[in-house]
Amino acid sequence: MMAQLALVHPVPEPQSAPRGDHEVIALMVGEGAKALDVGCGDGALLSLLARERRARASGVELDRVKAHACVARGLSVMQADAETELAAFPAGAFDTVIFSRSLQGFRRPGAVLREAARIGSQVIVSIGNSAHWRSRLHLLTKGAMSEPPGWGGFEQAHRWSIRDFAALARATGLKIERAAPMSHSRPGAPFAKSLWRANWFAEEAVFLLTA
């Protein structure tokens, strides 16, 4: 059962430069949209959406410490296991459901995506690209897969290439409306004007999906 954490004493939020995928995600979220950030972590994206898009943003976070820290900053965050608790939300409850570097940590990402598409009009997902040329070179020379560039510290039950995720999205019945390849935390990865090139040269990508 989802637990809404009680707000006690909000503390000022530290200002820092937004993460690259967060900036791209914010551009994909409509002004004033009702948004759910699944695996919201420290709440940085929630704050950005409220500030820049005037979004009615809330989050779900499994880690109790992180969830409490978000609530202490005045953010609307529930401590819950989204893998099971997304089913508790009614259909069409949100304009946008977001997985910012979080979907790869779920055991059953396809099922989670289907639930997200049920409760949101659109789904935004940012992923690390395990097929980036540096990751391929590491596999070739070291005999082991490396983390996607810039993705140290993020839990990954699944390592996907950009093509892998595109195939997963389509297999779950979702349409890719937009996709932004990124390198060095900036959109428009060099040579990434096609899926094939993005698969080689983009460090990560942000997808906008609809049912």
> Are 77 and 70 contacting, i.e. CB atoms less than 8 angstroms apart?
yes
Q: What is the pLDDT of residues 81-92, one digit of tens each?
A: 999 999 999 999
Q: What is the pLDDT of residues 180-207, one digit of tens each?
A: 999 888 887 655 567 778 898 899 999 9
CA–CA distance, 148 with 203 (Å, rounded to integer): 7
Q: Please report, as a single letter, which amino acid is at residue 52.
A: E
2 confidence band (pLDDT: 50, 70, 90): very low
**pTM of this structure:** 0.86
CA–CA distance, 116 with 91 (Å, rounded to integer): 9
Mean pLDDT for 130-156 is 69
Average pLDDT, the chain: 87
144 confidence band (pLDDT: 50, 70, 90): low
- Start-to-end Cα distance in the chain: 27
Q: What is the pLDDT of residues 58-74, one digit of tens each?
A: 999 999 999 999 999 99
Closest CA to 2 of 123, 119, 101, 83: 83
Residues 6+ apart with CB under 8 A from 115: 86, 87
Domains of the chain (ranges plus CATH)? Answer: 81-210 (3.40.50.150)
7 confidence band (pLDDT: 50, 70, 90): very low
